[in-house]
Amino acid sequence: MAVLVSSSDGFHDCWLPFFRLLETHWPECHFPLYLNIESGSYAHPTLDIRCLNHPPSPSGRPMPWSNRLISSLASIPERYVLYLQEDYFLDAPVDHTRLEECLHTIRAAGLGCVHLTPFGSHGGSRIAELPYLVDVPRLTHYRLSTQAAIWDKEVLAAYVRPDETVWETEILGTLRSWSRPAPIRTVVDLPCGGPIMSYTGTGIIRGKWHPEMRSLFARHGLNVDFSIRGFYDFPSRWQTRSRMLAALARRPWRPLAAICGM
């Protein structure tokens, strides 16, 4: 397995705190680390991180998010990837033993994915291969979630199409998974009471810091200038949903194609 951290050059201020918290809360990590970005580079003092660069086209147009993900998956030799994003700032120790159990299970049972947090699909009620794994039914919201998960990279790549944003891939990729189902599981009810990987759902929202990052970084001595981005002021759920629907309405054929698995 490899750890794939999806990011972009505009989030370079996240890389140091992200990887510092990763090594703090997951010292047992022995997997190769890949950082999916555009033209930038990053060297960590103690971790070996390989940057997967996807520069703009000759016209200057940035490579779309989904194109970079597809290219990154093709560049990684390992069959399985632990997908993360640069603003998933770990706030508690990773349950390494159960993460290894999930990796063994995804290989042994031929699964497409194991979601490691409660942020993605909530799954069904059928207990699966391990006491803390449940099946994610086929017609389920966020079957494809970009929250922390172990993926068979061929399954993930099959649900992604070029020229999509991250949230379009979650919505349209989920629709594609309905017609091209692979076994997907999610973690629930761990004996320790917490998730395998613990973090605030997203540390940056629409380009601004989640307010909880101030105290998290302070506890770990991470000096970040929050004034550059500022802090996010949460809108109503209606405002969030309306923005998503408006964006989908600009390309209405895409949801229909996704339902057909295209």
> How do residues 177-198 score in pLDDT, each as one tens digit?
999 889 999 998 776 667 899 9
Predicted pLDDT at 243: 64
Strands 2-6 and 133-135 come out as unpaired
Question: Please, what's the largest Cα pairwise distance for the chain?
Answer: 53
Structure tokens at 76: 């990684």
3-state secondary structure of 53: strand
CB atoms within 10 A of CB 74: 10
Is the pTM value of this prediction over 0.85?
A: yes
pLDDT for the residue numbered 128: 87
- Intervals of the chain under pLDDT 70: 191-193, 236-248, 253, 255-257, 259, 261
CB 25 within 8 A of CB 92: yes
Superfamily of domain 2-259: Spore Coat Polysaccharide Biosynthesis Protein SpsA; Chain A (3.90.550.10)
**pLDDT score recorded for residue 88:** 98
**What's residue 105's pLDDT?**
97
Closest CA to 231 of 194, 195, 200, 261: 200
pLDDT for the residue numbered 121? 81
CA contacts within 13 A on the Cβ side of 144: 27
pLDDT of 194 reads 77
Partners of 83 in beta bridges: 4, 149
Determine the number of helices (DSSP H) and then strands (DSSP E) in the chain. Answer: 8, 10
pLDDT at 180: 86
Which pLDDT belongs to residue 28? 97
Q: What is the rounded CA–CA span in Å between residue 242 and residue 247? A: 9
